[in-house]
Structure 1
Amino acid sequence: MARIGVENGLTDVAEALRQQGHEVVELHNENDANSCDCCVVTGSESNVMGIMDTTTKNPILTAAGYTAEELCQQVSHHINQQ
């Protein structure tokens, strides 16, 4: 499965992604995002870790307004397009 970076505080999303078989890593800075197939960030503090400025071909999803299930669906959609 895919390697998914998840920002601290999104425990429910991280757990749901693990249950789907994904490798989940916690994002601490922009370098962490580079090794991931997809990233999920809170969106509560815009670009707090500089992740949105990172030059990456991989999608960065904002969790604000979505359930863990909806985010898992979005991750699967993006992973399947790669």
Structure 2
Amino acid sequence: MARIGVEQSLTDVKEALMEMGHEVIDLKSEADTAHCDCCVITGLDQDVMGMSNTSIAGPVISAEGQDAQAICQMVNDKLS
């Protein structure tokens, strides 16, 4: 399965993705995104300064306003 980077506070999302068979890593710094197929962020600090620099070539999914199941579905949709 895919390697998914998930922000530390999204415990329910991490657990759901692991149950689906994905490899899940904690995003503690920008360097953690280097080898991820997809990243899930809280969305709370997304593009705060109007900058859109990214260090990942894959999709970045904002978890803001979504439950774990909806996020898992978005991850699977982006990776298929």
The TM-score with structure 2 as length reference comes to: 0.88
Aligned match of 2:37: 37
Query: RMSD value over aligned CA atoms?
Result: 1.5
Q: How far does the alpha carbon of each residue in 1:35-54 deviate from its partner, in whole angstroms, 9 at most, with x for none?
A: 10000000112358xxx622
Give % identity: 48
Equivalenced residues, count: 77
The TM-score with structure 1 as length reference comes to: 0.86
Which protein has the bigger helix share?
Answer: 1
Q: Residue 66 of structure 2 aligns to a residue in which SS?
A: coil
Q: How far does the alpha carbon of each residue in 1:8-37 deviate from its partner, in whole angstroms, 9 at most, with x for none?
A: 100000000000000000001111112100
Q: Residue 56 of structure 2 aligns to a residue in which SS?
A: coil
Unaligned 5+ residue runs, structure 2? Answer: none
Q: Residue 26 of structure 2 aligns to a residue in which SS?
A: strand
- Where in structure 1 do 4 or more consecutive aligned residues deviate above 3 Å? none
CA distance in 2 between partners of 1:68 and 1:29 (Å): 22
Unaligned 5+ residue runs, structure 1? Answer: none
